Every structure is written in C-alpha cells, then in structure tokens.
Amino acid sequence: MSINDKTKWRENELSYEQVLDKYPDIPPIVALKIDVSRRGISYTDKAFAKVDPNVHHVEPYDYMIGHGQNVSPIGLFLRDGSVICQAHSKVYDWTYRDPYILDVVDDKLVIVDNDKVYEEAWFWEKPDFYDKFTSNGTPMRMVASARPQRITIAPATKCHFWDNPKEGCKYCALFSGHRAANDEGDIRDDKWFQDVEETVKEAIKQKGRYASYHMTAGSTLSGAEIFDDEVDLYINTLHAAEKAFKVKKFPVKLVASAFSKKQLRRMYEETAITTYTTDLEVLNKDLFGWVCPGKAKHVGYEEWKQRLYDAVEIFGRGNVDCGIVGGVEMAQPNGFTDEKEALKAVLSEAEEIASHGVSFAECVWNTLPGAIFMRQKTPSLEYYVQLALGLAEVRRKNGLNIYTDDYRRCGNHPNTDLARID
C-alpha cells in the first residue's frame, strides 16, 4: 500500500482544523495530542539527528524498533508543558492513516501534517538515575522508568490473562512480547526489593523532577484468592520504595487488577498508596466479554464495576479511576458501527459509574503491532474529541477530581488533560 493510499481517509473525516472550528471548547494542543496518539508520528532523519542519548530519554538498551536508527525517544514535550507519550511510529501495510511527521524547521523540532507546521516539540530529558547502578550491579533504568514528572515501577512483566492465548485483551500490544515467556523474570527476591529502594532514593535526588510515584504490572491470577500474589508483590515493592520517604502517605498511583474489598483494604492500610485505578477498558458489558475475555471469565463486568465502587469506600471519591481504551468500542465485527451510537452508549455507562465516585482515565486506542486488533480501523478525531469532552463533563458533574492522572503526572489521557481548564 502506498502512502497515497493512506491519505484517502481524509476525504471521509473532519480535519484537525475543522474539528477545532466545530468544537471550540477543546484546546488545540489537546486535540493535537489526541490526533497524534490516534495516527502516530514518524520522525524524519533530521529529527533523529537531534537525538542525543546523553541528554534525551530514549528507548532502553538502545532498543531497535525497526526504523533503522540506533535509538528512539519515547515521548515529546509541547509548549504548554504537556506531553505526548508517543515514540516514532513505523508505517505498516495495514496502517489505515498516514502519521504526523516530526521534522526540523529553522533548527527546531516541529510537528507537521500535510506540510503544515502545527507545534514546536522537545524530546523528554533523561532522568539522572538512568546511567547509575544499584549496589547489586543492576542498571537502575531496568528497575524504574520515568515520564517527565513521574517515576514508575513495574514489578511484573507478564499479564497472566494471556496464559490462555484466547483470553488476553485484544487491543493490547504491551505484553505481546511476554505472552509465551516463563515467569522467571517476575520472581522477585530480596535483591529486587533492595534495587527498588536504592533506585527510588537515587531518583528523588533530582529535585523538582517528580510529582508522583506510579506502579503497575500485568495481572497475576494466582493465590488463595485471585490476585492475592499480585497484591503481595505490590505491597512488598511499595514497602521497598517507601524507605526513600519519611512520611506515611505520599502521591502514589497504583494501576492494577480489580482487587476484592479485603485486598483493597490491605493495599490502603499497609502501604502509602493514595489513588487506585483498575481498567474496565470498554464500557459495555457485551463488548467487554469480547474485547477482554480473560477479565470477563475470571472476574466479570459487573463484578469489576462493583470492585471499583468498593474501592471508593476505601480510598474516597476522586481517588479511584476506571481506565478505558477510548474507541475500542468500535472494533469490528462486534463493536458499534455508528460513532453517535457508540458515544451515547459510552457516556451513559460512564455517567452511571461516575455516580458512584469513580472517575475515568481514557487512553486513545491505537492499533499497534502484536495486538490482535492491530489491523483494525480506529474512530475519527471528531469522535475522540467528543469523548474527551463528554468524559470531562461527567467528571465535573459528579464533583470528581484528578490527582495523579493529570496532564503533568501522566499526560496520556485526553479527558484528564481537560481538568486543568475547569
């Protein structure tokens, strides 16, 4: 398929400028972030030439991602301080839309589409701790990762919903490399917890860099009760990180499985955790069973929702989020075929869930290599803008706040980006 074939979609969708004209309440930078997340962004050779691995935050271990370069930055800054969590995007034969372009004009990195410059951009800077080692000789960049104002620990690299190949979430490419892996990399001993403690202590020496601590991993189904072993791993990892601080509670966000009320109380009472997110992914019971068959089999849609509500009892209103993959409700052949119907259904379900004190962290569905849905067509920019505005209004209507998922601490959720203009 030629690049010209990948521009035909423009005939059937509102352009970026047309969307801004139609929806004046969406800030242009937020709309641009959505569109870059939806379509991807490809770097020119001139843009790659601007990469300095000694300064910029690049893929770990000079990871080769198929673009013919030695390194690739993992994200971009924009002029308002917000971030784009998007690395260089390769164009595949199934790619439906052409991506934006990161180019160099007048010696500045700029985001370009159809030869028009939209925004200046900057690569993320590398965290100070990335070139250091723990006393065990472990590279600290293997222990923790970082966004511009958030440090992340991922204590497990495998999602066990993939243990049965037909039970993983169909949109997900995150764990595609670990679906057939054994569990040796997720067996954490005293050495690992020592590495976590030392890495966090080193990271927070960089004054002003971090506004929150974030922890997430794939689901672990084992234990006397489902997810018990996952809870134990999180608690032990948090205890190691907590040694770097001298307070009982600090801004900690956990993105994890749908824990029972007993497990949630353990997390809240035994650790510094302040906010909790668990992901329904798609706000529709029938589609949940198709898109996330493992979650549907082992927990179920209604029970997953109930566990969100139980979490509000423990963490409080505004401290519990439901992660969703915006747009995946239109995956075919079982999803919605009309954007208006899809939007109405999603926002109606969001309103019901939010009435219980649960907010939302919406990611933009992008078709990536390794995902079962990688050859699907995602919705229009207009749909995503309407969804972001709608979810933001649902949050405001229900008096919910965004503490650790805002534009600074995450930057990957269009609806929470809008919280800064409330």
The answer for 130, left when phi > 0, alpha when psi is -120 to 50, beta otherwise, is: alpha
pLDDT tens digits for 3-60?
A: 567 899 999 999 999 999 999 999 999 999 999 999 999 999 999 999 998 999 987 5
Q: Of all helices (H) and strands (E), which one includes residue 111? A: strand 108-113
- Closest of 195, 160, 203, 155 to residue 179, by C-alpha: 160
pLDDT tens digits for 319-373?
A: 999 999 999 999 999 999 999 999 999 999 999 999 999 999 999 999 988 899 9
pLDDT for position 178:
55
pLDDT tens digits for 48-59?
A: 999 998 999 987
pLDDT at residue 400 tops 70: yes
pLDDT at residue 65 tops 50: no
- Contact partners, residue 81, CB within 8 Å, separation at least 6: 407, 408
pLDDT tens digits for 141-192?
A: 999 988 888 898 989 878 999 988 789 999 998 755 555 455 555 667 899 9
DSSP H stretches of helix in 224-300: 228-242, 261-270, 285-291, 293-298
pLDDT for position 31:
96
Q: Of all helices (H) and strands (E), which one includes residue 38? A: helix 28-39
pLDDT for position 66:
42
Tell me the three state secondary structure of residue 308: helix
pLDDT at residue 253 tops 50: yes
**Planar angle of CA 293, 298, 299, nearest 5 degrees:** 100
- Closest of 99, 121, 125, 98 to residue 109, by C-alpha: 121
pLDDT for position 183:
56
- Contact partners, residue 289, CB within 8 Å, separation at least 6: 296, 301
- Contact partners, residue 244, CB within 8 Å, separation at least 6: 197, 200, 201, 204
Query: Which domains are assigned to the chain?
Result: 4-123 (no CATH), 128-421 (3.20.20.70)
Reduce the secondary structure of 352-402 to three states and give it as a string.
HHHCCCCEEEEEECCCCCCCCCCCCCCCCHHHHHHHHHHHHHHHHHCCCCC
* CA–CA distance, 129 with 126 (Å, rounded to integer): 8
pLDDT for position 9:
94
- For 208-215, what is the mean pLDDT? 86
Return the structure tokens found at 259: 């824990």
* CA–CA distance, 234 with 218 (Å, rounded to integer): 11
Tell me the three state secondary structure of residue 271: coil
- For 85-92, what is the mean pLDDT? 87
